[in-house]
Chains A and B, each alone.
Chain A
């Protein structure tokens, strides 16, 4: 246990980095989820594309997605950039963004299905009334659909976000120096892998527990207008 004290600040720094990756990825997840659900509900080619997205990212191991992003993401972006400007230099995605994006795409696939069900759960009468009142489509999405779908989606969405939090442990695979990396370094110096990796586990447990409590509070708040 004493071996840990020398590494506390590295662990704190790594934990802070994990938190940042999670927050960025969570934001992306919500966006991917809403857009994906909208695409699936719109029908036509967009629905099929979104369907492929959901199948691929729910069925492929997270580790593999990260590895593909690591090796292929920058190459793809560079190729795209070169289409626009042949003299363009190497377009690099910093590992922070590559990792956050990769895990957000995975959680976003689950969120797409959740939001799809939630949007379908919004009473059509609400939409009719909104259109009758002359609201523009974007206003309807923002002020009528989302607030109500949000309440339906929240429990499942909460589970996806907890999964997202745990997936952040994998971004060490693509070279982000966060707590897994710190634990490996500490292990090679102190020779105590159990202590170090158990410390990582405790940090994650603290994060997921706090996240669950926050989600429970959000659920209660979203239902506050409903009779108890």
Chain B
């Protein structure tokens, strides 16, 4: 027993000093405090993998509608824009934690989200639509364009977590069989494999990254475009933390100018054969 204590006792002092110096070094080494207010650099959170709204080109550059809009806003309000890539489901928590100052990531303005963060006026319309295989002949909507929950029996729907499509479907058909995905790519893979019978997503995006590609042959949009404001919101807006009304006003002013002088239209036409911004300015003017 004495021998054992001889082994153990001297460990205590050394161990404690080691622990203390390690903790100190770790805290110093790891903490990388980033500039918050002062110099007008606004950090913008975006997904970086959401073609064609925010994505990386082969050269590694960030591009897309959201990226263009963010840069233009920065130019107009006199701030430098620095992009931070963030996985979609952690977007709002990261903004709240201060990892970045703005969200420009095709995030729809919804009442749920407005409880936690503020939004600018919309800079893009928000719509959802089902996509399914042509030969499934799915009829999910009646003649008036309302969803028939009974039609969803035996149909498995793929959705992205934390998306407006999820809120819409949960409200309209709470008993639906849903599989949740963390990325669009995984969702398209499973749609192709037949693991899910239909998915619900942004039709602009579905068209560009899936339906128009060879993989997407045999798939089409099903049912009307859905744009109920209650679920999809007034559109897609710039997200910011609450309590920054002056910044919000500046961003709104910039967006209003961009709508009126055609900048938003130009950005939209870069990626789509149609414009995607709200035609009539939907902000407080």
Does chain A touch chain B in the assembled complex, meaning CB atoms less than 8 Å apart? yes
Q: Which residues of A contact B (CB under 8 A)?
A: 31, 34-35, 38-39, 41-43, 46, 70-71, 74-75, 77-78, 80-81, 88-94, 97, 101, 119-120, 122, 124-125, 127-128, 131, 137-138, 140-141, 145, 174-175, 184-185, 187-188, 191, 193
| A-B pairs under 8 A by CB, number | 107
Confirm or deny: B35 has a beta carbon within 8 angstroms of a beta carbon on chain A. Answer: yes
Say yes or no: B31 contacts A187, CB within 8 Å: no
Supposing A71-B93, A141-B14, A188-B188 touch, asked if A175 and B86 sit within 8 A by C-beta, the answer is: yes
Supposing A42-B8, A184-B183 touch, asked if A89 and B15 sit within 8 A by C-beta, the answer is: no
Which 5 pairs of residues, A with B, have the shortest CB-CB distance? A38-B15, A124-B3, A90-B98, A89-B36, A188-B185
Confirm or deny: B77 has a beta carbon within 8 angstroms of a beta carbon on chain A. Answer: no
Instruction: For the complex, give the distance between the alpha carbons of A184 and B49 in Å.
Output: 11
Closest-by-CB residue of B relative to A125 is: B3
Say yes or no: B97 contacts A78, CB within 8 Å: yes
Cβ contacts under 8 Å, A71 to chain B: 90, 93
Say yes or no: A141 contacts B98, CB within 8 Å: no
Confirm or deny: B24 has a beta carbon within 8 angstroms of a beta carbon on chain A. Answer: no
Listed residue (A39, A81, A125) with the most chain B CB atoms within 10 angstroms of its CB: A39
Confirm or deny: B30 has a beta carbon within 8 angstroms of a beta carbon on chain A. Answer: yes
Confirm or deny: B177 has a beta carbon within 8 angstroms of a beta carbon on chain A. Answer: no
Cβ contacts under 8 Å, B13 to chain A: 137
Cβ contacts under 8 Å, A141 to chain B: 10-11, 14
Say yes or no: A124 contacts B32, CB within 8 Å: no
Confirm or deny: B19 has a beta carbon within 8 angstroms of a beta carbon on chain A. Answer: yes
Cβ contacts under 8 Å, A101 to chain B: 30
**Cβ contacts B72-107/A at 8 Å (1 or 0 each):** 000000000000011100100100011100000000
Say yes or no: B15 contacts A31, CB within 8 Å: no
Cβ contacts under 8 Å, A42 to chain B: 8, 11-12, 15-16
Cβ contacts under 8 Å, A187 to chain B: 185, 189
Say yes or no: A89 contacts B35, CB within 8 Å: yes
B contact residues, range: 35 or more
Supposing A31-B22, A74-B99, A175-B86 touch, asked if A46 and B16 sit within 8 A by C-beta, the answer is: yes
Confirm or deny: B136 has a beta carbon within 8 angstroms of a beta carbon on chain A. Answer: no
Cβ contacts under 8 Å, A70 to chain B: 90
- In chain B, positions 159-192 with a C-beta closer than 8 Å to chain A are 183, 185-186, 188-189, 192
A39, A75, A97, A188: which contacts B30 (Cβ < 8 A)? A97
Instruction: For the complex, give the distance between the alpha carbons of A71 and B92 in Å.
Output: 11
Confirm or deny: B137 has a beta carbon within 8 angstroms of a beta carbon on chain A. Answer: no
Supposing A41-B11, A119-B7, A184-B185 touch, asked if A88 and B97 sit within 8 A by C-beta, the answer is: no
Confirm or deny: B215 has a beta carbon within 8 angstroms of a beta carbon on chain A. Answer: yes
Say yes or no: A175 contacts B87, CB within 8 Å: yes
Instruction: For the complex, give the distance between the alpha carbons of A38 and B97 in Å.
Output: 36
Cβ of A96 to closest chain B Cβ, rounded Å: 11
Cβ of A74 to closest chain B Cβ, rounded Å: 6
Cβ of A97 to closest chain B Cβ, rounded Å: 6
Q: What would 6 more interface pairs be, CB under 8 Å, given A42-B16, A89-B33, A184-B183?
A: A46-B16, A71-B93, A77-B31, A91-B32, A92-B99, A145-B11
7 A–B contacts, CB within 8 A, in A order: A46-B12, A74-B97, A81-B31, A89-B35, A124-B7, A140-B10, A175-B87
Closest-by-CB residue of B relative to A41 is: B8
Closest-by-CB residue of A relative to B2 is: A124
Cβ contacts under 8 Å, A137 to chain B: 10-11, 13-14
Closest-by-CB residue of B relative to A124 is: B3
B7, B15, B33, B86: which contacts A81 (Cβ < 8 A)? B33
Confirm or deny: B59 has a beta carbon within 8 angstroms of a beta carbon on chain A. Answer: no
A34, A46, A94, A124: which contacts B6 (Cβ < 8 A)? A124
Cβ of A192 to closest chain B Cβ, rounded Å: 10
Cβ contacts under 8 Å, A188 to chain B: 185, 188-189
